A and B are shown apart, each in its own frame.
Chain A
């Protein structure tokens, strides 16, 4: 068996009185792409926020259960900023910070500590290349990241998420604001990144999970309905009928 990277057990999350996750347990293995699918309000985004502990920045949330990263409970980690740098996070809508393209990518390394200019140059070039953006912006690294097009900004966001060399990359519906061609390019990037890191891919496009993920988890109303190898989930007989209905588009 491969090494367990993330172990989630009995995870319950509530926003005030409203439950978002009702006792979810599963493992994520090292260097796999785990597709996470499910309709709105099923707790997918909440799950990612628990892992990098940005959920606690939202008021009125309660978290029970444990999330372990390399066997260590994330909620007992004292260096929460270090924890967040171990995880790259890409949100649905692209967010170019109001800084230059260079500074966008150099932001995380700089916040982690002082760096040499040459070192930063290398990081910026490596990350922009990994995110398939380098060729388009290499001549204007000084221009504002917020002035890029939506698809370019999303690739900038991915480059930024890679800049602190995360062990885990969480993508939350990254293709929502990106054209199909760019989406395909990013998907190619993810396939190569898989060798270096573990990828959690939350997606509304079930076909995207089918294309990329080794295993796929189906969430519904805050519960994990099923997690299995992707070809089982997308086969004619997954363990659960609602999984079959959802991936085949005849839900409800």
Chain B
């Protein structure tokens, strides 16, 4: 170690220390005492550690339920989990068999709803963020976006029944249910896309405009390519919401029971009703007596697992695109 005694401090600095650390008293001839701990310093350190540990515990508390849920579900579901479970229809009035019909139904609902809501949401967000001036129309749209995101899903369900099933005459169908889900996910997609667009620095746009580029040229060449990772992440995260919701689909297109051709991915028609994992889970847990014990847990695992898988894909995509970040 070095010899602190040999370090020369300017006299002004010594004086300053004498006044600020008056609690310890004494003079400061030896500069090695410059870094000894004072009572105030000790208290600060204790508080700092205490606060940090407290926040860390909260963090653990948050992660605990997730681990418990997944662990418990896996433990209970293990006896039934198999490839066959995923690819066979429910049997014996849903007391046995697999998940094929509801699993495929959920995929249909999610894909169709995102096919509708993603383009509309992204384009609307581009307009709101890049073109819209601050006037009453924009303000109303923004207000609508915020409020639509807060509407309970059962209200979306009722709207879906009124608008798509009855008024538009779609009947209870995959299409009607998907459109209801699309209405539900739309505001969140708009919000996340706007955020992603906002993250592209304004100076890039100004530079492009100064070069005589139109707004659209600027958006296409600079803004969209650099916001795409955020936009995609926001859209993919809506998969979990669309897959998990029960209320919006139970009156608009999802049924308790329906058999379809096993292994045929085009088994549903878009105008048919379908089964869905979330509703299936509700049904076999509450409406059907004597279900094999593992099946509801297996259903839950498949639902949670596929959602987590999609989310993991979103995260991987974001990480990948971030490595290619250009500024």
CA distance A66 to B134 in the complex (A): 27
Given contacts A107-B208, A107-B221, whether A98 and B326 have CB atoms under 8 Å apart is yes
Q: Are B210 and A84 in contact (CB under 8 A)?
A: yes
Q: Which of B207, B213, B217, B326 contacts A157 (CB 8 A)?
A: B207
Question: Are B204 and A54 touching (Cβ within 8 A)?
Answer: no
CB-defined contacts of A89 to chain B, threshold 8 Å: 210
Name the distance in Å between A89's Cβ and chain B's nearest Cβ. Answer: 4
Q: How far is the CB of A233 from chain B (nearest CB, A)?
A: 28
Let me know if A91 and B207 touch, CB within 8 A. Answer: yes
- Counting CB contacts under 8 A, is B127 at the interface? no
Closest to B207 in A: A95
- Bound: A89/B134 CA distance, A: 27
| Chain A hits for B209, CB < 8 A | 54, 57, 84
Residue of A nearest to B135 (CB): A59
Q: Which B residue sits closest to A52, measured CB to CB?
A: B210
Known contacts A59-B133, A144-B326, A146-B326, A111 near B213 by CB under 8 Å: yes
The CA of A96 and the CA of B201, in the complex, are separated in Å by 11
Q: Which of B133, B208, B211, B326 has the most CB of A within 10 A?
A: B211
Question: What are the residues of chain B within 8 A of A95 when measuring CB–CB?
Answer: 203-204, 206-207
Q: Are B210 and A91 in contact (CB-based, < 8 A)?
A: yes
Name B133's closest neighbour in chain A (CB-CB).
A59
B214 at the interface (CB under 8 A from A): yes
Instruction: Say yes or no: A111 contacts B210, CB within 8 Å.
Output: no
In whole angstroms, what is the CA distance A49 to B60 when docked?
A: 54
CB pair A98 B222 closer than 8 Å? yes
* Interface residue? A215 (CB, 8 A): no
- Total A-B residue contacts, Cβ distance less than 8 Å: 70
Contact A111 B214 (CB under 8 A): yes
Q: Which residues of B contact A163 (CB under 8 A)?
A: 211
Given contacts A93-B203, A98-B327, contact A107 B213 (CB under 8 A): yes
The count of chain A contact residues (Cβ–Cβ below 8 Å) is: 28
User: Which residues of B have CB within 8 Å of A59?
Assistant: 133-134
Q: Tell me, in angstroms, the Cα distance from A84 to B217 when the chains sit together.
A: 14
Q: Is B226 an interface residue (CB 8 A)?
A: yes
Contacts of B326 in A (CB 8 A): 98-99, 144, 146
Identify the interface centre among B133, B207, B209: most chain A CB within 10 Å of its CB: B207
Collect the chain A residues with CB atoms within 8 Å of residue B225's CB: 98
What's the Cα separation between A93 and B208 when bound, in Å? 14
Cα of A52 to Cα of B225 in the assembled complex, Å: 27
In the complex, B41 has a CB within 8 A of chain A: no
Cα A164 to Cα B207 with chains together (Å): 13
Decide if B2 is an interface residue (CB 8 Å cutoff). no
Give the Cβ gap from B27 to chain A, nearest Cβ, in Å. Answer: 45
- State A118–B66 Cα separation when bound (angstroms): 59
Q: Is A81 an interface residue (CB 8 A)?
A: yes
* Bound complex: CA A144 to CA B226 (Å): 13
Query: CB < 8 Å: which of B133, B203, B206 contacts A54?
Result: B206
The verdict on B212 contacting chain A, using a C-beta distance below 8 Å, is yes
By a CB distance below 8 angstroms, the chain A residues around B213 are 81, 107-108, 111
B residues near A97, Cβ cutoff 8 Å: 204, 207-208, 222
Least CB distance, A237 to chain B, in whole angstroms: 38
Are A146's CB and B211's CB within 8 A?
no
**Cβ–Cβ contact B212 & A85, under 8 A:** yes
Closest beta carbon of chain A to B20's beta carbon, Å: 36
* Distance to closest chain B CB from A128 (angstroms): 16
Q: Looking at the assembled complex, report how far the CB atom of B28 sits from the nearest CB atom of chain A, in whole angstroms.
A: 42
Q: How far is the CA of A51 from the CA of B247 in the complex (A)?
A: 58
B214 and A81 form a contact (CB under 8 A): yes
**At the interface, yes or no: A184 with Cβ under 8 Å from chain B?**
no
Give complex CA distance A157, B204 in Å: 11
The answer to whether A111 touches B206, judged by C-beta atoms less than 8 angstroms apart, is: no
Q: How far is the CA of A157 from the CA of B13 in the complex (A)?
A: 46
Chain B residues with CB under 8 A of A157: 207
In residues 79-129 of chain A, which contact B (Cβ within 8 Å)?
81-85, 89, 91, 93, 95-99, 107-108, 111-112
B226 near A107 with CB under 8 A, answer no
CB distance from A25 to the nearest CB of B (A): 25
- A44 CB-CB contact with B under 8 Å: no
Determine the residue in chain A with the shortest Cβ distance to B213: A111
Residues on B with C-beta less than 8 A from A5 are none
* Contact present for B133 and A164 (CB under 8 Å): no
Q: Whose C-beta in chain A lies nearest to the C-beta of B215?
A: A57
Residue ID in chain A nearest B326 by CB atoms? A98
Contact mask for chain A residues 137-177; partner B; CB cutoff 8 A; 1 contact, 0 none: 00000001010000000000100110110000000000000
B→A interface (CB under 8 Å):
133-134, 203-204, 206-214, 217, 221-222, 225-226, 326-327
Contacts A57-B206, A81-B214, A108-B211 known; 5 new A-B pairs at CB < 8 A? A97-B208, A98-B326, A107-B208, A111-B214, A111-B221
11 A-B Cβ contacts within 8 A?
A: A54-B206, A54-B210, A81-B214, A85-B212, A96-B327, A107-B213, A107-B221, A108-B213, A160-B211, A161-B210, A161-B211
Nearest 3 CB-CB pairings of A with B: A98-B326, A85-B212, A89-B210
